[in-house]
Amino acid sequence: MRLGSSHLSYCTNIHPGESWNEISANLAHYLPRVKRRVCPDAPFGVGLRLSAAAARSLSASDTLAQFAGFLRANDLYVFTINGFPYGPFHGTPVKEKVYLPDWGDEARLEYTNQLADLLAALPSDSEVGSISTVPGAFKRNAVTPDAVAQIADRLIRHVAHLVKVERDTGRRIVLALEPEPCCLLETVDETVAFFGGHLYSRHAATRLASLAGLGVNDAEQALRRHLGVCLDVCHAAVEFEDPANCFGALAGAGIPIAKMQVTAGLRIPRVTADAIAALQRLAEPVYLHQVVERGSGALRRYVDIDAACASETWRSGDCEWRVHFHVPVFLEQLEDSSSTQPFVREMLALHRQQSRTPHLEVETYTWSVLPARAREVPIEEAIARELLWVQGELA
């Protein structure tokens, strides 16, 4: 739904399903129910998630026309696509495989090009479309300069495709890299450095100019026009970022926030043996739950809950843990842990004062692995409650 100059919705990756038949059935079931609860009398935007298999199926002209008809008939429009998970995302161990194929692999480029074509063809009330994607790669898969250079080159090649999409359709689409703990782009500072050194550089502009038939100066503008970030609020909170600096550093570097995912994680203000025991009960086999520890020294990062709980570093003194475990944004507490909701409130307050992004998306994809007490209401009611909570914070 439109809130001032921004569009707000939820990411449909909360609904299990990998094939287009499964995804379309979920959309037909849930989208009208959520819309009735949050904006019955106005168009409702969709944050669409498509696996690579679903994207291929939807690309068939008759299937695409049928879906576009469904959107129009139900007063729905698509303004953003989650192009992060390429393959299965529910009901099977995903963990670090969620980043594969990464931007070091040609399959990631082909998939994202296809998503851009679909987004340009679907009904939308937003002048600009966004596609969120993996932050380059899982950090240990991008440790050499050559690996990083290949990632950057594929991103530039994707921009060449986006330039063509805009020429052919008039629709501008922005690829939004999503910084995440333990990835190539992990912090705001790392993101600014990567954009400045690899994506907004003169070398990148020269490369794009040759690919897209542009002058170098026009290519420089195209890179900034079609490449930005997806700022996931949970990820930023887990990294102990400063809310004002998140916006200020990106704006200072001229990096657009194409989308902000309004998400909350877990916070353990003081790590104790009891707190660790409580956190271990949340360890589950499907998703990766990175943990960042702040004590007296530098931040310490753990790839998953089990690794953090096996550590003894917390015994040396007071320290705080934040956990990449998405929880409903309206919850201040989840059983024995606090949430990072105060961080979410601060980010939304800054956006309320000055619009920072055209696209806002709630993304609590962990619904199926939340404790039972957090799943006592139907999914559509929980989604609506999250959207209305965000709307209230922005009012």
Looking at residue 211, its amino acid is: L
Confidence (pLDDT) at 373: 82
Topology of the domain comprising 2-263+340-394: TIM Barrel (3.20.20)
Confidence (pLDDT) at 329: 97
The answer to whether residues 258 and 359 touch, using CB atoms and an 8 Å cutoff, is yes
In 3D space, the residue among 295, 310, 179, 302 whose CA is nearest the CA of residue 237 turns out to be 179
Residues 176, 174: Cα–Cα separation, whole Å: 6
Residues 340, 240: Cα–Cα separation, whole Å: 10
Confidence (pLDDT) at 344: 98
Name, in order, each residue with C-beta under 8 angstroms of 221's C-beta and a sequence gap of 6 or more.
Answer: none
Residues 4, 299: Cα–Cα separation, whole Å: 37
Confidence (pLDDT) at 333: 87
The answer to whether residues 35 and 68 touch, using CB atoms and an 8 Å cutoff, is no
Backbone angles phi, psi at 259, to 5 degrees: -155, 145
Residues 202, 296: Cα–Cα separation, whole Å: 40
> Cis omega (within 30 of 0) on the bond before 101?
yes
Torsion angle in degrees (nearest 10) through CA of 288, 289, 290, 291: -160
pLDDT averaged over 10-residue windows placed end to end, the chain, 395 residues: 92 96 98 97 97 98 98 98 96 94 98 98 93 98 97 98 97 98 98 98 98 98 98 98 98 98 96 93 94 92 95 86 96 87 98 97 94 88 97 96
Check residue 183 and report its DSSP letter.
Answer: B
Residues 312, 331: Cα–Cα separation, whole Å: 29
Compute the radius of gyration of the chain from its Cα atoms. 20
Q: Give the 3-state secondary structure of residue 107.
A: helix
Buried b (16+ CB within 10 A) or exposed e, 31-43: bbebbeebbeeeb
Confidence (pLDDT) at 160: 98
The answer to whether residues 267 and 367 touch, using CB atoms and an 8 Å cutoff, is no
Confidence (pLDDT) at 133: 98
The answer to whether residues 136 and 142 touch, using CB atoms and an 8 Å cutoff, is yes
Residues 354, 95: Cα–Cα separation, whole Å: 36
Give the DSSP letter string of 338-376: EESHHHHHHHHHHHHHS---SEEEE--GGGGGS-GGGG-
